[in-house]
Structure 1
Amino acid sequence: MVKKVSVLVVDDSLICRQLICEALGQDPDLQVVGTCVDGKEALAKVKELRPSVVTMDVDMPVMDGLTAVEHIMAECPTPILVLTADPRQQAPELTCRALELGALGLRVKPSIDDGLEAWNLAKELKLLASVRVIRHIRQHKKITPPVRNELPSLLPPSMGMVAVAASTGGPQVLHRMLSELPSDFPAPIAIVQHINAAFAESLAGWLANSCRLKVRLAQDGELLMPGHVLIAPPGMHMVIPFRGRVALKPGVERDGHMPSATVLLESAAKAYGRRALGVILTGMGEDGAAGMLAIKQAGGLTLAQNEESCVVFGMPGAAVERNAVDHLVHGDEVGAALVKLSRGEALAQGR
C-alpha cells in the first residue's frame, strides 16, 4: 500500500482552512493530518506530526507565517508551500523573504468565491513533498573545497555573457550569487527562474535590493549590458537573437516550461559561442540540460550547482548525465566562481 502524502494546513481563517482541506480531500494520495491557526501552533504540530508538507499562510496572529517558516526550517526541516495575498500589492521583501528562509514554493491565495477547484493544491504539494529539504541555518555555512589541479584550458577567451537556469530552491541561490558580484561585473546576466507568475515582479525587486547590479524583468528588445541582470518574465520565452540584445517570444512550453531555460541557453550558445557561460542551479525536471550541452558544444564554459547544496538535483543532475557540465560548484560559491572567471582565473577541477 502506497503511503499517503501527509499535509499540515496552517491558516488563521476558518473558511480558508476548510476550503483547503476539502479540496485536498478529493485526492486519494493526500491526507490532511492537522490544521493550525497560527505559526506557533504550526511549529509544535510539525514536530509532533512530522507531515510530508505544510501549507503556510503569511499574515497570522501570535506567530506570523514567515517567522514560523524560519523556525520550522531551522528546527524540523519540512517542505513548505507559502500561501499569500497578491504580492504585487506588498513589498517584494515580504513575499520573497519566505524563500530566503527556506520555503520551497509560493502561491497566491485564491478568493473565497473562486470555487473549490482554485484551492486544489494537490499536484504542487505532492511535488514538494518529494523534495529532500535541509536544515536552513540563518548564517550561510561556507564549505572549503578540496585543492585540485587548475585547468586553464577551460577558461573562456573572455566572458561575453552569463545565462542562468534555476527552479525549486533557485531564488535563495540567486540571492546569494548576485549579492556577491561587484557593480563592475564585466558580463551581462540573463536568468530563467521558474516561479509562479504573480511573484515574478517581487522576485526581481527582492534580488535588486540585495545586490549592486541592476536587476529587472526583461523587456522585448532590451540590451544586454555589463552590470545588468535580466530575468525572463512569465509566459514568454527569453532568447538572445544576436549578441547584446534579448527578445521575448510567445510559443509552446519547452521541457515543461515557458519561459524555458533550455531556450535561453541554446540561444546564448548560438549568439556568443565560446564567450557564453552557462549556469544551472537547483530545480526539478531537466529544463536547461540541453541548453547547457549546446553551450559546451559551442566551446563555452558550464557550471552546475553540486548535489550536496541543491534542494533538488534534478536539473543539474540531468546536465551532468549529458556530460554538459565542466564544473560542479557549491551553491554558496557560485558568485565567487563567477568573479574568479571574470578575472581570467581558472576554477579547480572537480565533480
Structure 2
Amino acid sequence: MTIKVLVVDDSGFFRRRLTELINADGRLQVIGTASNGQEAIDQAGRLRPDVITMDYEMPVMDGITSLREIHRKLRIPVLMFSSLTYEGARVTLDALEAGAVDYLPKNFEEISKHPEEIQKILCDRIVMVSGSRTSVASAAPTTAAPAPAVAATPTRRGGLRSTQLVVIGASTGGPMALQEVLTRLPANFRLPILLVQHMPGTFTKAFAERLDRICQISVSEAKDGDVLRAGHAYLAPGGKQMLSDGHMRIRVTEGESHLNYKPSLDVTFGSVARDLGGKVLGVVLTGMGADGREGARLLKAEGATIWAQDEASCVIYGMPMAVAKAGLVDEVLDLRRVAPRLCEEIN
C-alpha cells in the first residue's frame, strides 16, 4: 500500500524538491502541499495523509503550533525538519514534545549535491515514521500496562542492591521517553546514570540542558574525565563514544569510524560490562535498529540485569525488540513503569 504524504514548507523550492524526491520512491506519494501551519491543519483534515513532513519556521502559523493541533485532533505522524544548530536543537526538542515522531536536518545544499543519498534517507525515514506510534509522553495515560510481546523473568525485588550504575539507551522516540523516565526520579536517586541517545552533536548539549532544567536529578552532557556521582545523569555527546575508565570516571572518545552510531549503546554497554561486570542495570528504550543488543549480551554474560521497554509504549519497537528476541531481557516494562521500578529497586 502506498504511503500518502503531505509536505508542509513555506519555501516553494523546498516543497517542489521534496515532492520530487518523495514521488520518485514507489512506496510513497505526495497527495498535497501546504505553505504554512494553518494550511497544514486544513489539508491534513481534508486529505488524511499517513505522514506529514513539517518545517517549523513559517508565516501565518508556525510549525510547532500546527503540529500541536494536528497531534491533538488527528494523531498523524509528523517528521519535522530542523537546522543543525543549537537553536535548531531547542526548537526540535519542542517539536518532539509537541508530538513529532522524528526529525531530519534541513539542508538545501546537501539536497542539491547528493540527491540520491538524501532521497534514500528521507524516504526511509518517512516509511519508518508511517509505522510509528504517537509519542507516549504526550499521549493519554493508560490504565494498565499491556502484556509484553516477549516473555521475560521479572527482576527479583531487592535483587539490584549491588548495582553501581544505570545505563539507559534509546533512538527514535528516545528524547521524550528519557524525559518521561528522568523527570520522575527523585533528587536523592542513589546511583549515577549514563544516557545514550542517537542524536547529532549539536543537539546533545541543548537536550542535556533541557533535562537538567526539568528534572530533580542533575543532568549534563558528558565530558571526558567526569567523575560519576549519585543522582546525576550523563548524556553521551553526539558524534562521540562514551565509555567507563574502570574507576567510576567517564571517557569520551571519537570512537571507530566504521561504527553506525555515535554514540552507540553497544559501545557503552560493552565498556561498563568490562569494568563493572554484573553491577550494572541496562535499560533499552524505544528506537529503530538493534543498537544495544550485542552490548547487552556482554553485560548478561557478566551477570548484569537488562530491562526493555514494551512494544505497546514504544514509538519504534526496534532496539527493545532486538534485545528481547535475543533472550537477554530480565524485565519488560511499559514506559511509565520504568521510573517507579528504578525507585523500587535502586532507592
TM-score (norm 1): 0.87
- Structure 1 position 275, deviation (Å): 1.5
- Structure 1 position 303, deviation (Å): 1.1
The count of residues paired between Structure 1 and Structure 2 equals 338
Determine the structure 1 residue equivalent to 2:256.
251
- Sort the Cα spacing of 1:154 and 1:227 in 2 relative to 1 into closer, same or farther, 3 A: closer
SS of the aligned residue for 1:204 comes to helix
Percent identical among aligned pairs is 33
SS of the aligned residue for 2:214 comes to coil
CA contact (8 A) 1:47 1:76 kept: yes
SS of the aligned residue for 2:195 comes to strand
- Sort the Cα spacing of 1:131 and 1:146 in 2 relative to 1 into closer, same or farther, 3 A: closer
Q: Pick the aligned partner of 2:217 from 198, 213, 220.
A: 213
- Structure 1 position 320, deviation (Å): 0.8
- Sort the Cα spacing of 1:142 and 1:24 in 2 relative to 1 into closer, same or farther, 3 A: closer
* d(CA) in 2 for partners of 1:70, 1:241: 43
SS of the aligned residue for 1:115 comes to helix
* d(CA) in 1 for partners of 2:280, 2:195: 13
Q: Pick the aligned partner of 2:96 from 59, 84, 99.
A: 99
- Structure 1 position 96, deviation (Å): 0.5
In structure 1, list runs of 5 or more residues that go unmatched.
Answer: 344-351
Per-residue CA deviations over 1:230-289 (Å, capped at 9, x if unaligned) read: 1111222211131411212320344x3222111111212222222100000011111112
* d(CA) in 1 for partners of 2:236, 2:22: 32
- Sort the Cα spacing of 1:317 and 1:40 in 2 relative to 1 into closer, same or farther, 3 A: same
Per-residue CA deviations over 1:317-342 (Å, capped at 9, x if unaligned) read: 11111111111111122111111111
1:292 and 2:290 aligned: no
Determine the structure 1 residue equivalent to 2:3.
5
CA contact (8 A) 2:169 2:195 kept: yes
* d(CA) in 1 for partners of 2:155, 2:214: 32
* d(CA) in 1 for partners of 2:111, 2:246: 44
CA contact (8 A) 1:74 1:135 kept: no
What letter corresponds to residue 53 of structure 2 in structure 1? T
- Structure 1 position 297, deviation (Å): 2.4
Aligned CA-pair RMSD? 2.7
Alignment of 1:100-249 (within 5 A): 100-111=97-108, 115=112, 117=114, 120=119, 122-134=122-134, 138=138, 140-145=140-145, 152=156, 155-249=159-253
SS of the aligned residue for 1:200 comes to helix
- Sort the Cα spacing of 1:317 and 1:15 in 2 relative to 1 into closer, same or farther, 3 A: same
What letter corresponds to residue 225 of structure 2 in structure 1? G
Q: Pick the aligned partner of 1:333 from 322, 333, 337.
A: 337
- Structure 1 position 73, deviation (Å): 2.1
Judge which range, 211-220 or 307-316, deviates more.
Answer: 211-220
Determine the structure 1 residue equivalent to 2:150.
none
Per-residue CA deviations over 1:174-204 (Å, capped at 9, x if unaligned) read: 0011111111211111111112443222222
SS of the aligned residue for 2:272 comes to helix
* d(CA) in 2 for partners of 1:137, 1:237: 27
* d(CA) in 2 for partners of 1:334, 1:268: 21
Judge which range, 283-292 or 293-302, deviates more.
Answer: 293-302
1:304 and 2:344 aligned: no
What letter corresponds to residue 133 of structure 1 in structure 2? R
Structure 1: which 4+ aligned runs deviate by more than 6 Å? none
Judge which range, 37-46 or 280-289, deviates more.
Answer: 37-46
